[in-house]
Chains A and B, each alone.
Chain A
Amino acid sequence: MKRIDHAEASSKFIEATDHAEFHDRRLWDLRKKRDRESESLPEWQELRGLASAIKEHTLTHLADYLEQFEAAAQANGIVVHWARDAAEHNQIVHELLAAHGVKTLVKAKSMLTEECDLRPFLENRGILVVETDLGERIQQLDDEPPSHIVVPAVHKLRTDVAEVFGRTIGTDPTNSDVHYLAESQRQNTRPHFVGAEAGMIGANFAVAETGTVVVCTNEGNADLSMHLPKLTIASIGIEKLIPRIEHLGVFIRMLSRNALGSPITQITSHFRAPRPGTEMHYVLVDNGRSERLGMEDFWYSLKCIRCGACMNTCPVYRRSGGLSYGATYSGPIGVIIDPTFNLRKYSNLPFASTLNGSCTNVCPVKINIHEQIYKWRQVIAERHQLPMVKREAMRMAGKVLASPKMYRLAVEAAAAGISHLPRTLIYNPFNAWGKQREVPGAAKQTFRQWYVANRGTKQ
């Protein structure tokens, strides 16, 4: 399978200057709103500790909690299915829809169904699938995957949306008023809610003791997908479990604050049993999660509650756009999850990071994201998955860094080089550090020159 070239894809993203600048600004704005909200809670750090501990406890007892969740759900009248991978998940969902003669499925946003590529699978079998979240619908109509796990169309400007809607749902392509566009999608989606024979949601949390699935949304589309049709389905990654209802207090207080900088989502829905006269199904999906649970360095990524804060804060993500990662999950959380799906295909992604650690600092469940990124680089190098250029560069760097004398010579030469070399040499296509940025001026002295002059050569 072809290796995703993140650097190449991001260079295309950056070429569209208006888009790239807006993207950077919008996501940084989410980060700032998140800071305001988290700082308004004196117990924020304590909540992070609790959230992390609850998740770690659950994951280290996951089999028991899954059995408890299944039994509770069945007692509530829900049919529980298990899927080892994406193919089995899609098969189960399709069989349910086919058995009920479903022609239209209304769907709330679910990263799990993106991961499983459910939509094309169903569409190829003659089922109309309508994404009902505005951002997700924009992406569906434009035939693109979501570029962000919380705000799927964040890389698009209003004029792009006007073009997509003009082409697909018959709006005026020259009218890019945001109210007009949102209202048009509302009007276009309503008949689908009213007419669909089946509805589908993902899960933010699954509560073991009660068999409840919790979804946190703002638009009302998940509830409309669940309250009207006679057949409803929730797809649940097995890592979404938490032990008890009371634990929701911790996560609900953090999720939207950390994701969007709002105290809570507009709608926090708890589905525990089918409406009378209707059917409700859960599909519990593994798709690599149980394997990841056994990876000593990487199982912590299963704590993720998909708030997206690590993406919003990441300087690489903000300037490269989610689609450049070529994977369902992008940004810092993506680069530590994606290699578990396909090491070779995603072997470039852990290098899309400056290792600044900001992702780790904003993570509500204290995943050591930047440390995992570093560890993935080691795994990839050990398994010889480094591209040739990177391998040679690292080999040379390794030699230089291993010898203090060579290191000093290299630093002095580089400093002299930046001051004296002609621009064409620094900003040439072979120097990745000179792309899309000005290289900072070199200091007059290297640190060692300063140290020798000011502190002498011996301690």
Chain B
Amino acid sequence: MSTRDEILTRVRKNQPAARPLPEVPLFDAGRDASLATFASSLMRMGGKLVDAPGDSDLDALVARLYPEAKVIASATPEVSGNRPLGQLQRPADLEDVDVGIVRAVFGVAETGSVYLSEHEYQVNALGFLSQHLLVLLDPAAVVVNMHHAYRHPGFRTARYAVFMTGPSATADIEGILIHGAQGIRSLTIVPVPLPTR
């Protein structure tokens, strides 16, 4: 018998009597999906929310927020950047990126998380090899909590999907919180309505 069949046979033999699967409620009564709640949750997790520029000039905003940045890789046509993602030989070539820019699909008010997948990132490593990440989020695209978030169809179609909640962090030495563990050192969200096509 193959290992697979051996394991499955033993599991089937040893399984205790069947127990029912409960229905999971949405737990959303009295909770809001506002940008304000999202922003305060995000701040708790070490992320920042920066107002959209009045003149809609996102390139200028990026230059203002990251004056030292040399390499900017943008996965959204709304920001130019200077490292086109389409021409990469391999994901590791993003090693020297100072600022990655991407548009999130939606945010989660309860936790301050944003949902992204390979469709938004183009190259997934952008969200982790970059030193800093700037994320555009449509202020109307915020859901109440994780129960709502997991109804998104992307979880059934994307190869990779992620909730990013603030920058990478560690508290592995004496519980001292460090932002910028192995991944991004900062996460900044800019509420910008989705452009009409």
Binding site for B on A (CB under 8 A): 22, 26, 29-30, 43, 49-50, 53-54, 56-57, 59-63, 66-67, 70, 76, 82-84, 88, 132-135, 138, 151-154, 156-158, 161, 178-179, 181-183, 186, 189-190, 193-195, 210, 212, 218-221, 223-224, 226-228, 238, 243, 245-250, 252-253, 260, 262-275, 284, 286, 290-291, 293-294, 296, 299
Contacts and interface: CB of A to CB of B under 8 A. Distances in A.
B170 A182 contact: yes
B8 to A, nearest CB: 5
Nearest to B108: A264
A227 B113 CA distance: 20
B149 A249 contact: yes
B161 A186 contact: no
Contacts of A268: 113, 162-163, 165
B62 interface: no
B183 A221 contact: yes
Interface of B: 2-4, 6-8, 10-22, 24, 27, 41, 44-46, 90-92, 95, 110-113, 118, 123-125, 127-129, 145-147, 149-151, 155-156, 158-176, 178, 180-184
Nearest to B7: A286
Contact of A53 (B15, B20, B127, B159): B20
4 A-B pairs with least C-beta separation: A220-B183, A294-B14, A220-B168, A135-B172
A194 B95 contact: yes
B146 A249 contact: yes
B10 A82 contact: no
Contacts of B27: 43
B8 A266 contact: no
B182 A266 contact: no
Nearest to A280: B159
Contacts of B3: 82-84, 88
Q: Identify which of A135, A157, A266 gathers the most chain B CB atoms within 10 Å of its CB.
A: A266
Contacts of B7: 66, 82, 84, 238, 284, 286, 290
A271 B117 CA distance: 10
Given A221-B182, A224-B183, A29 B175 contact: yes
B163 A132 contact: no
A249 B16 contact: no
A238 B11 contact: yes
A378 to B, nearest CB: 20
15 contacts: A50-B22, A53-B22, A57-B22, A59-B15, A60-B16, A178-B176, A190-B95, A193-B129, A193-B182, A220-B128, A220-B182, A228-B129, A265-B165, A266-B168, A293-B11
B21 A54 contact: yes
A62 B21 CA distance: 13
Nearest to A186: B182
Nearest to A207: B155
B182 A267 contact: no
A428 to B, nearest CB: 36
Given A238-B11, A249-B24, A291-B10, 18 more contacts: A50-B22, A53-B22, A82-B4, A134-B181, A151-B171, A223-B127, A227-B160, A245-B156, A249-B146, A252-B163, A263-B41, A263-B165, A266-B164, A273-B160, A275-B160, A290-B11, A291-B14, A296-B16
